[in-house]
Amino acid sequence: MTRRDFLATSAVVGLSASLSARETNGETKALEAAAPLIAAVQQHMFPEEGRLPSAKAMDTITFLKETITHASYDRDIRGFVIEGAQELEHRTKGKFLMMDAAQREAALRSYEETRYGSNWLTRIMTLTMEAIFSDPIYGSNIGQEGWKAVGSVGGVPRPKERYIAL
Amino acid sequence: MKHFDVVIVGSGASGGAVAYTLCRAGYKVAVLEKGRLIRREAFSKDELAYCRRDIVTPSLFDEYHLIEEKVGDQWVATPTYESGWSFWNGNIVGGSSNLMSGMLHRMHPDDFRLKSKYGEIEGANVVDWPITYTEMEPYYAMAESVIGISGVAQKHRFEPWRSTPDFPQPPTRENEVVKLFDKSCRALGITPLVTPRAVLSRDKEHRNACYYSNFCGSYGCSSGAKGSATEALLFPALSTGNLTLMSHTHVKYLKSSKEKVTSAVTVDTVTGETREITADIFVLAAQAHESVRLLLNSKNRHHPGGLSNSSGELGKNLLFSAGGSGQGELHRESLKEISFEALMERGLFVNRSILDWYYIDHWWDGRFKGGSVEFMFEHQNIISMACKNNEEGGKLIWGKALGERVAKRFKESKSIRFEIFNDWLPNDDCFVTVDEAHRDKYGMPVGKLRIAAHPHDLKVGSYLAGKCEAVLEEMGAKNIYSAISALPPQNLIAGGCRFGDDPGTSVLNRHCRSHDIPNLYVADASFMPTGGSVAYTWTIYANAFRVADHIVRDLSKM
């Protein structure tokens, strides 16, 4: 089994990061193109008026983009995040962004029926949770709203720089 | 490059302990550490960095292991860059001792003579140790004092005897949940014990007492309270002026003649520059599987099977810690004995363990070696706790339902968890070799770990899990579960360089010196023929102090 297959088909999540990933222009463009759809999926998962702050209010898409393009992030997972969005775009015939909440729910639950879709949605969920509940230094969890929502707070000392300069 | 009295490969618990003793005795020591130094002030409680990214371990694409497991009738080797299952632990100055929770126990005297006490187990290579607890005890006491282990001496039939009346520091502060825990244990006829902890409850020299950050295990300590090799051993060693601490220095292999090791061939992990470092004595302390790999990768015409491998035993009988874990939730509405607000107080420890089942001798259950159990709160990491509450029946929960569920989980309950430690029986299907076809970024063959647990380990673990679940039930916990697994915890590794009196069946002698090469020692947990049923760390510290005393005797004769 190749690693990409493993990511797409295994129930295991949380693979380790890698160094020396070669960022390509093509990948950057593909991520930018997929970002509105990924942001919409995040917003569907973390909507307004819930007990948790919304994805939009926490700017979780910026966190996601900065995280997966960081040199330390696993290049295979980066590819998987982009390709999984393209697959959702393909399954919904390019109309996901125009769908209402009920239609989006149906489309995502249908995608979740596939092992590939389920793993991709889990990855997006994890990246969004990481955004909302990580230290505000990473740009999301603005005003510690994520921590406040669950009545918790990160430990001290808080980080003074991201990933302490890997 | 100057010549040293002693070169130590690795700066973790064992390397730190050897350096501490030798530097204080006046010898010139170089500690070679492939990772970087993270100072106390730089250790933050950044969950993303420390617990969800690899900032203290190498990239698996650069450095990896092959893990060989049995699938059907076949042994299948998977590189860890494929699986993401890292076998690196804290590759920074001080090693993984920086990141431990510090819940420690001494091994029991009978753990040193397991074969004599319990006899053979079919399919397991159980042997007695060449030394007794009596020989190790002074060094357990030394570790207690130097590392700063807090606790309280308690009488218990499975508590090893001690030469000092009590611990140097009282226990760290405890959450009120211990009232409920202790009462529940007593109702079941179980004796709860306060866990000794390598965390200072009071200031000690340059280190400050614990400040109860709520985020201990997996993180470096920002007050120096945790008894890491960095704080407790390397900084005092540096203050002697005798220690040269070389970070970013990876040892590729050792050069040797037939009779002695002559140099360590190193690569600077930043510049790529190669150097040779010479010394009179070489001490390996790179963690069990990596010390074995280094010895195998140092093979030459005098030692074609690797250094210290005339017995053919090098790499064999690799050990992990068997057992597993479980937990249950204490809910606001059903909480007994204490207030919910007291339960939710942040940062305070549970500090409880049970040794009642260390040895089982029961008319119905039988007579066998059991294990120890630690109780603690579920780790308070916010991201991981939230992620554990986002699915049901294999489907993700999202939208408002997710918010309700996660907020309720954080605000209305707190989980108490247990970890079981029982012997990982040494066996013929658990060992380290190297694979010439797979090389790390420095061009050296990577370690290949064949891993299989003895079925007996699972029986013992399951037996203990049942006992622990009963404790949680008595406490009134909900949603109790446990998982006993044949998969190894990759942070608890020992064996591979057995010590023994017979050069034909062991790699090291009773002083952890190579049977084959008199100026080569291995000080980490690889010496252990059997692992006992407690976390290894206290024993690693103690044994390394013992080995260091012997090296001092060696050096004084030179």
ipTM of the complex: 0.93
Query: What is the tens place of the pLDDT at every residue in B234-278?
Result: 999 999 999 999 999 999 999 999 999 999 999 999 999 999 999
Length of chain A: 166
Q: Do A164 and B213 touch (CB under 8 A)?
A: no
Whether B326 and B469 have beta carbons less than 8 Å apart is answered as yes
CB-closest option in A16, A20, A51 to B84:
A16
CB-closest option in A125, A149, A162 to B407:
A149
Nearest to B532 by CA among B479, B485, B497, B494: B494
* DSSP class of B160: P
* Chain B, nearest residue to A121 by Cα: B396
* Cα gap A17→A116, rounded to integer Å: 20
* Cα gap A160→A146, rounded to integer Å: 19
Per-residue pLDDT band for B110 (boundaries 50, 70, 90) equals very high
Whether B551 and B282 have beta carbons less than 8 Å apart is answered as no
Chains A, B: CB pairs < 8 Å: 153
CB-closest option in A12, A121, A133 to B383:
A133
Share of chain B above pLDDT 70, in %: 100
Cα–Cα distance list, B233 to B36, B47, B221 (Å): 17, 27, 15
Compute the nearest-CA separation of A162 from chain B (Å).
Answer: 8
Query: What is the tens place of the pLDDT at every residue in B473-506?
Result: 999 999 999 999 899 999 999 999 999 999 999 9
Query: What is the tens place of the pLDDT at every residue in B405-445?
Result: 999 999 999 999 999 999 999 999 999 999 999 999 999 99
CB-closest option in B49, B214, B380 to A164:
B49
Query: What is chain A's mean pLDDT, rounded?
Result: 88
Residue B1 in this model has a pLDDT that exceeds 60: yes
Query: Which chain A residues are within 8 Å of B84, Cβ to Cβ?
Result: 12, 14-16
Q: Do A72 and B54 touch (CB under 8 A)?
A: yes
Query: What is chain B's mean pLDDT, rounded?
Result: 97
* Cα gap A19→B295, rounded to integer Å: 28
Q: Do B382 and A150 touch (CB under 8 A)?
A: yes
* Chain B, nearest residue to A46 by Cα: B399
* Cα gap B553→B299, rounded to integer Å: 28
Compute the nearest-CA separation of B89 from chain A (Å).
Answer: 13
Nearest to B206 by CA among B36, B51, B40: B40
For A14, left (φ over 0), alpha (ψ -120 to 50), or beta?
Answer: left
* Cα gap A79→A31, rounded to integer Å: 9
Share of chain A above pLDDT 90, in %: 76
List for chain B the helix, strand, coil content (%; round to 5).
30, 25, 45
Q: Is the dihedral of CA A111, A115, A119, A122 positive or negative?
A: positive
* Cα gap B157→B356, rounded to integer Å: 8
Concatenate the DSSP letters of all residues of B415-457 into one string. Answer: EEEEEEEEE----TT-EEEEEEEEE-TTSPEEEEEE----HHH
Q: Is the peptide bond before B138 cis (omega within 30 degrees of 0)?
A: no
